[in-house]
Amino acid sequence: MEDLRFITLREEPRLKERAAEWFCSKWHVPKQAYIACMDAYLSGSTEYGWYLCLEGGRIVGGMGVIQNDFHDRRDLFPNVCAVFTEEDRRGRGIAGRLLDLTVADLRAHGISPAYLVTDHTGFYERYGWEYYCSAQGDGEEGLTRVYVHR
C-alpha cells in the first residue's frame, strides 16, 4: 500500500470539487449536498470531516461524517457516511484504513462515539465497530443496521 495516500480533505482542500463529484457518482446524492458538507468542514464550522484514499491522482476510496445518514435515529450522531472503495482496489485494506483515520480524527476533536448505517455484516466488526441497533432508513421499507464505534 506504499502507493496509497490517506488524507483528510483539509490536507488538500483543492480536491473538494473532484471529491464531491466522485462521491456523487457513487451514491447519487446531489453534488451540492457534498459541497455544502465539505464547505462546513473546510471552514471549520464543523469537525465532521471528509477522508480520501489517493492512488497517484486518482481517488480510490473515501468516506465522510455527517450528522445523520438518512435514518430515523436522529439521537445517534455523528454518522460515518458514503463509505466507498473502487471495485478494482477492494481487498487492500483501504476502507479499514479510512475508518481508522476517521475515528482517530473524530476522537482528536473530542467526538466519540461515532455511528454508521449499513446492510453489511462481518466487515465493520474487523475495525472495532459493534452492532448497536436497527433503524428505519428514510424512504426505505425495511430496517437497516446501525453500528457504533466507541
For the chain, which residues make up each domain, given as ranges? 4-111
* Residue listed under C-alpha cell 451514491: 27
Give the closest residue to 85 by CA, choosing from 74, 68, 97. Answer: 97
Question: Which residue is listed with cell 450522531?
Answer: 77
pLDDT of residue 59: 98
Domain 4-111: what homologous superfamily?
Gcn5-related N-acetyltransferase (GNAT) (3.40.630.30)
> Are the C-beta atoms of 14 and 64 separated by less than 8 Å?
no
The 10s digit of each residue's pLDDT in 51-85 is 999 999 999 999 999 999 999 999 999 999 999 99
What pLDDT does residue 1 have? 53
DSSP 84-142: EE-GGGTTSSHHHHHHHHHHHHHHHTT---EEEEES--SSGGGGT-EEEEEEEBTT-SS
Looking at residue 2, its pLDDT comes to: 66
pLDDT digits (tens, 9 = 90+) for 128-146: 999 999 999 998 899 999 9
Q: 89: which DSSP letter?
A: G
Write out 37-49 in H/E/C secondary structure: HHHHHHHCCCCCC
In degrees, rounded to 5, the angle at the alpha carbon of residue 16 between the alpha carbons of residues 10 and 20 is 130
